Structure 1
Amino acid sequence: MTFPIVRHRRLRRTTALRNMVRETVLTVNDLIYPIFVTYGDNVKEEIPSMPGVFHFSLDRLEEEIREVVDAGIPAVLLFGVPETKDAEGSSAYDADGIVQRAIRAVKAQAPELVVIADTCLCQFTDHGHCGLIHHHPVTGAAEIANDPSLELLVKTAVSQAEAGADIIAPSNMMDGFVAAIRQGLDEAGFENVPIMSYSVKYASAFYGPFRDAAHSAPQFGDRKTYQMDPGNVREALREAESDVAEGADMLMVKPALAYMDVIRLLKEQFDLPVVAYNVSAEYSMVKAAAANGWIDERAIVMETLTGMKRAGADLIITYHAKDAAKWVREGLAGGRA
Structure 2
Amino acid sequence: MDTPFLRMRRLRQTPALRSLVRETALAPSQLIYPLFLCPGEGVRREISSMPGVFNLSLDEAEKEAEEAARLGLGGLLLFGLPESKDEQGSGAWAEDGIVQQGLTRLKRNRALRSLVLIADVCLCEYTSHGHCGVLHAIDGEQHVHNDLSLIPLARTAVSLARAGADIVAPSDMMDGRVAAIRRALDASGRENTPILSYAAKFASAFYGPFREAADSAPQFGDRRAYQMDGANLLEAMREIEGDLAEGADMILMKPAMPYADVIRAARDRFDVPIGAYQVSGEYAMLKAAFERGWLEPERAMLESLVGLRRAGAGFIVTYFAKDAAKALA
TM class, shorter-length: over 0.9
Q: What is the distance in 2 between the residues matched to 1:160 and 1:154? A: 10
Tell me the amino acid that sits aligned with residue 50 of structure 1. Answer: M
Q: What is the distance in 2 between the residues matched to 1:99 and 1:16? A: 45
Tell me the amino acid that sits aligned with residue 126 of structure 1. Answer: S
SS of structure 2 residue aligned to 1:190: coil
Moved over 4 A (4+): none
TM alignment of 1:1-337, pairs within 5 A: 4-109=4-109, 110-136=112-138, 139-329=139-329
TM-score, normalised to structure 1's length? Answer: 0.95
SS of structure 1 residue aligned to 2:51: coil
Report how far residue 62 of structure 1 moved.
2.1
Q: What is the distance in 2 between the residues matched to 1:215 and 1:65? A: 22
Tell me the amino acid that sits aligned with residue 154 of structure 1. Answer: A
Report how far residue 7 of structure 1 moved.
1.4
Report how far residue 59 of structure 1 moved.
2.5
1:93–1:156: 8 Å Cα contact kept in structure 2?
yes
In the alignment, what sits opposite 1:333? none
Tell me the amino acid that sits aligned with residue 220 of structure 1. Answer: F
Q: What is the distance in 2 between the residues matched to 1:26 and 1:4? A: 35
2:71–2:326: 8 Å Cα contact kept in structure 1?
yes
Residues 110-156 of structure 1: per-residue CA shift (max 9 Å, x gap)? 233210000000000000000000001xx111110001100000000
2:69–2:114: 8 Å Cα contact kept in structure 1?
no
1:76–1:114: 8 Å Cα contact kept in structure 2?
yes
Runs of at least 5 residues in structure 2 that lack an aligned partner in the other structure: none
Tell me the amino acid that sits aligned with residue 128 of structure 2. Answer: D
Q: What is the distance in 1 between the residues matched to 2:15 and 2:97? A: 51
2:50–2:284: 8 Å Cα contact kept in structure 1?
yes
SS of structure 2 residue aligned to 1:85: coil
Q: What is the distance in 1 between the residues matched to 2:184 and 2:160? A: 12
Report how far residue 5 of structure 1 moved.
4.4
1:255–1:278: 8 Å Cα contact kept in structure 2?
yes
1:256–1:277: 8 Å Cα contact kept in structure 2?
yes
1:44–1:57: 8 Å Cα contact kept in structure 2?
yes
Q: What is the distance in 1 between the residues matched to 2:254 and 2:155? A: 24
Q: What is the distance in 1 between the residues matched to 2:262 and 2:81? A: 30
Q: What is the distance in 1 between the residues matched to 2:151 and 2:184? A: 9
Q: Give me the CA root mean square deviation.
A: 1.2
The alpha-carbon distance between structure 1 residues 3 and 12, as it changes in their structure 2 partners (threshold 3 A), is farther
Tell me the amino acid that sits aligned with residue 150 of structure 1. Answer: L
Tell me the amino acid that sits aligned with residue 31 of structure 1. Answer: L
Q: What is the distance in 2 between the residues matched to 1:3 and 1:181? A: 62
Tell me the amino acid that sits aligned with residue 267 of structure 1. Answer: R
Aligned length in residues: 327
Report how far residue 26 of structure 1 moved.
0.5
1:107–1:113: 8 Å Cα contact kept in structure 2?
no
Percentage of matched positions with identical amino acids: 56
Report how far residue 192 of structure 1 moved.
0.7
Report how far residue 60 of structure 1 moved.
2.1
Residues 195-226 of structure 1: per-residue CA shift (max 9 Å, x gap)? 01000000000000000000000000000000
Report how far residue 257 of structure 1 moved.
0.5
1:123–1:214: 8 Å Cα contact kept in structure 2?
yes
SS of structure 2 residue aligned to 1:157: helix
2:35–2:61: 8 Å Cα contact kept in structure 1?
no
SS of structure 2 residue aligned to 1:210: helix
